[in-house]
């Protein structure tokens, strides 16, 4: 079974703090993704990576950066957290074929 883990289930941070969200997958998947989920908006892609040290912007990259130093690990960084970044953050990974994405349990982030 594919396993995707995320470092925290719940986080509370202050405005202006730098926030790190970590994601690890154990199935040697080439691709990794970060999404945020907000009510009524579905899942929106922030960034994705198709190889180590490679990254591509998704639909809403502003205010975020990512790091992929090892194949199994993909980090999402909020450089200076703001209240509008309060959300559920979901990490996923996939092979190139089939393209099915497998998700971690999510991190619910509250920025005060």
Partner 1 sequence: DQQVKQNSPSLSVQEGRISILNCDYTNSMFDYFLWYKKYPAEGPTFLISISSIKDKNEDGRFTVFLNKSAKHLSLHIVPSQPGDSAVYFCAASEYNFNKFYFGSGTKLNVKP
- The alpha carbon of 21 is separated from its chain's Cα centroid by a whole number of angstroms, namely 7
Residues 68-97 that bind partner 1 (CB under 8 A): 88, 90, 92, 94, 96
Contact (Cβ atoms closer than 8 angstroms) between residue 60 and residue 46: yes
Which residues are 57's β-sheet partners?
Answer: 47
Question: Cβ closer to partner 1: 16 or 53?
Answer: 53
SS3 93: strand
Whichever of 90 and 111 has its CB closer to partner 1, that residue is: 90
Choose which of 14, 42, 53, 69 interacts with partner 1 (CB under 8 A): 42
43 HSE (CA, 13 A, CB side): 12
**Interface residue list for partner 1 (CB under 8 A):** 4, 9, 31, 35, 40-45, 48, 50, 58, 88, 90, 92, 94, 96, 98-106, 108
């Amino acid at each position: 079974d594919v396993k995707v883990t995320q470092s925290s289930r719940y986080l509370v941070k202050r405005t202006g703090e730098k926030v790190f969200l970590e994601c690890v997958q154990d199935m040697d998947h080439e691709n990794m993704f970060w999404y945020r989920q907000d009510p009524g908006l579905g899942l929106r892609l922030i960034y994705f990576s198709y190889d180590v040290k490679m990254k591509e912007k998704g639909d809403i990259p502003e205010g975020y950066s990512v790091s992929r130093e090892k194949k199994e690990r993909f980090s999402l960084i909020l450089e200076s957290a703001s209240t509008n970044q309060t959300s559920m953050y979901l990490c996923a990974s996939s092979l190139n074929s089939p393209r099915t994405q497998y998700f971690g349990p999510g991190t619910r982030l509250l920025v005060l």
